[in-house]
Amino acid sequence: MHSTTPSPATGNRLRGYFLPVGLHPRIKAAWWGTRDTADAVPTLASLVAQLLVAGAGRLEERYNDGEPFPAAPEGARGRALGDGEQRNHSYFLPDAVHARAKAAWWATRDRDAGYPSMSSMVASLLTEEATRLEEKYNGGAPFPEAPIGARGVDPEAARRQAEMMASLWAERSHAARND
């Protein structure tokens, strides 16, 4: 479902979630439509990470005295949602964010407010956020679709990538002088 290889530019890993058809374009449109507001975040992945941290925090508060849950077991899987067509959408997320959200989901999956799968938790959080942004900034209506190539720029990732490229350039330059 997800890559175990970190992206060198971001230090994050690709995490995939099965979401109801139409939810990814909706949250992407909400992110894009609010990029110049007080709720703005630099990338869609950073919005997803922010929502996972908030969702895990709510579950920790409700069921674990505000403390993080122990890690979910290796290979922990949930039940299929079973309500409509699902599509896999992936986001680059910090490992710690994914692990915390997965632990919170796993520890509460059988509770009254639990989610049957990690993907259902992500879908719920994305739906809540899209609705909140639409109500706050677009009169409750969905935002127009984001451009196909809409991408944000994570300043921290851009800095790390610049450092990596400068280091690579210096190594190549040094090697060329020594030849």
pLDDT tens for the 179 residues of the chain, in order: 344 455 555 568 888 898 998 999 999 999 999 999 998 888 888 899 999 999 999 999 999 999 999 999 988 887 665 556 888 888 888 889 999 999 999 999 998 878 999 999 999 999 999 999 999 999 999 999 988 888 776 666 666 667 777 888 888 877 777 87
Using alpha carbons, select from 165, 122, 143 the residue that is nearest to residue 37.
143
Verdict on whether the full-model pTM lies above 0.85: no
- Residue-level length of the chain: 179
With both helix axes pointing from N to C terminus, report the angle between 118-137 and 23-33 in degrees, rounded to the nearest 10.
Answer: 40
